[in-house]
Amino acid sequence: MLFQDITILDENLDVREHMYVGTKAERIAYIGTEMPEEDFGEIYPGDGRLLMSGFYNAHAHSPMALMRGYGENLALQDWLNTRIFPFEDKLTGEAVYWGTMLCMAESLRFGIVSSSDMYYFCGDMARAVVECGAKANISRSLVTFDDTDIWDLDRFLEARDFLRDWNGAGGGRVVAEMSLHAEYTNQEKAARQVAEFTRESGARMHVHISETKSEHEECKARRNGRTPIQFFDSLGLLDQPVTAAHCVWVDDEDIAIMAEKGVTVSSCPASNMKLASGVCNAPKLLASGVNLAIGTDSVASNNSLNFLEELKLFALVQKVHHQDPTVITPKQALYAGTRAGALTQGREDCGLLRQGFRADLIVLDIAQPHMHPVHNLLNNVIYSADGRDVVLTMVDGKVLYRGGDLLTIDMEKTVAEVERATQNILRQL
Ligand SMILES: [Zn+2]
């Protein structure tokens, strides 16, 4: 496809007008100010449009789409114990498949090209991702209750098998990872064994860290004063690439460890606000050199995958929290939502509009009233735009969403199956 005479956010997230961008197979093959001589197939007229990198959602639990709106206005532990855990107990592979498909539809509609997705029934999740053409890093989240050897736990064997069977599926679109759910949901022996296995297998790790104050403080009481980051570091869990979701309550020593070990923080502003968990210290993380990405968390605690809304919330909550409107620039928010997310997914050639990189691209309609006037287009993208302004989503050079239509997902069937699966579970509760 050739995007013709279009405004772009280039690899430095600078605005450039009247550009030509050609994609060939799964890559960006041409970026220039002139109409290329080479034929790139369909010509997409760029008038009133902005072309930029798609979004990389660095923390999600897609199958929880079935629980959107199901448990509201509850504290985290109440929410988990009275609503989420009983519902999850009745989930099936088929329900997970349809929940994931619904989230993929919503993701593509809002410009998310790839998600770091932690849950279970991972094969069913991966099947939905492969079929619809999106990308995802998927991990089987491990919870352990006693000192059973992990090699005797079906949950761990599922994770191992998923890594073996699905890593690289869909032409590399699926990356299988390892995951410990969190410090408070695991025993030391299991965490140590999982750290060992993760190192040996060379896998990436996805984990929840210091989401709530009580989680952080109870860990210190339980683990000789060590925080979740310090506890995991002592087990060698941070020796592989790690995506650490939330990190609301991390201290200075934690931040130094994360910077040294190259841990990526996935901040989830909407979920942290909704569950009243607190505010991740983004300016300090950035100043310390920590890679900072953005996640939606599940739609049970968000309640949407409107990623441009997430970027705006990310910027605004930092400003009010620090009582400083200068913190978090539009460029920092955009980088966190694109390149930083791609990097923590191990997708080195993704997340930037650069020649030779994967063509994971989105187009925004910037001709609408709320996008004018244009004093600074970046400001408009972060503070004025909305996820519904996305009019095209392309993954690996294939258009998956365009002008209201999801081209690889049967929405009518997906919605009907999601309703059916949800009602099936509710009848059993
Ligand atoms: Zn989470």
Q: How many Cα atoms sit within 13 Å of 85 on the Cβ side? A: 8
Q: Please list, residue by residue across 362-395, b when 16 or more beta carbons sit within 10 angstroms of its beta carbon and e when fewer do.
A: bbbbbeeeebeeeeebbebbbbbbebebbbbbbb
Q: Which two tokens stand for residue 121?
A: 């029934």
- ∠ CA 290-296-298, rounded to 5°: 130
Distance of CA 308 to the CA centre of its chain: 13
Cβ-Cβ contacts under 8 Å for 161 (sequence gap 6 or more): none
CA of 120 to the centre of ligand 1 (A): 13
Q: How many residues does the chain have?
A: 429
Cα of 252 from ligand 1 centre, angstroms: 23
Ligand 1 centroid to Cα of residue 76, in Å, is 11
Distance 271 CA to ligand 1 centre (A): 9
| C-alpha of residue 335 to centroid of ligand 1, in Å | 21
Query: Rounded to the nearest whole angstrom, what is the distance from the C-alpha of residue 384 to the centroid of ligand 1?
Result: 27
d(CA 297, ligand 1 centre) in Å: 5
CA of 181 to the centre of ligand 1 (A): 8
Tell me, in angstroms, the distance from the centre of ligand 1 to residue 293's CA. Answer: 14
Q: Give the model confidence (pLDDT) of 165-224 as tens digits.
A: 999 999 999 999 999 999 999 999 999 999 999 999 999 999 999 999 999 999 999 999
Tokens of 102: 């619904």
3-state secondary structure of 59: strand
Beta-carbon count within 10 A of 410 CB: 13
The rounded Å distance from CA 301 to ligand 1 centre is 9
Cβ(179)–Cβ(140) below 8 Å: yes
Nearest to residue 138, comparing CAs of 165, 113, 116? Answer: 116
Tell me, in angstroms, the distance from the centre of ligand 1 to residue 60's CA.
6
CA distance 96 to 128: 9
For the chain (length 429 residues), average pLDDT per consecutive 10? 98 98 98 98 98 98 96 86 94 98 98 98 98 98 95 97 98 98 96 98 98 96 98 97 98 98 98 95 98 97 97 98 97 98 98 98 98 98 98 98 98 98 96
Give the residue carrying structure tokens 């993760």: 198
How many A from CA of 298 to the centre of ligand 1?
7
Interval between CA 49 and ligand 1 midpoint (Å): 34
- Ligand 1 midpoint to CA 244 (Å): 10
| Å from CA of 182 to ligand 1 middle | 9
**Helix and strand counts by DSSP (H, E) for the chain:** 16, 17
Distance between Cα 11 and ligand 1 center (Å): 30
Q: Cα(405) to centroid of ligand 1, in Å?
A: 29
Distance 117 CA to ligand 1 centre (A): 9
Closest of 18, 61, 48, 40 to residue 394, by C-alpha: 40
Cα of 52 vs centre of ligand 1, distance in Å, is 27
Give me ligand 1 centre to Cα 320, in Å: 24
Q: What's the gap in Å between 339 CA and the centre of ligand 1?
A: 21
Q: For position 79, what pLDDT does the model report?
A: 86
Classify residue 150 by its DSSP letter: G
What is the CA(245)–ligand 1 centre distance, in A? 7
Q: What is the DSSP letter of 83?
A: I
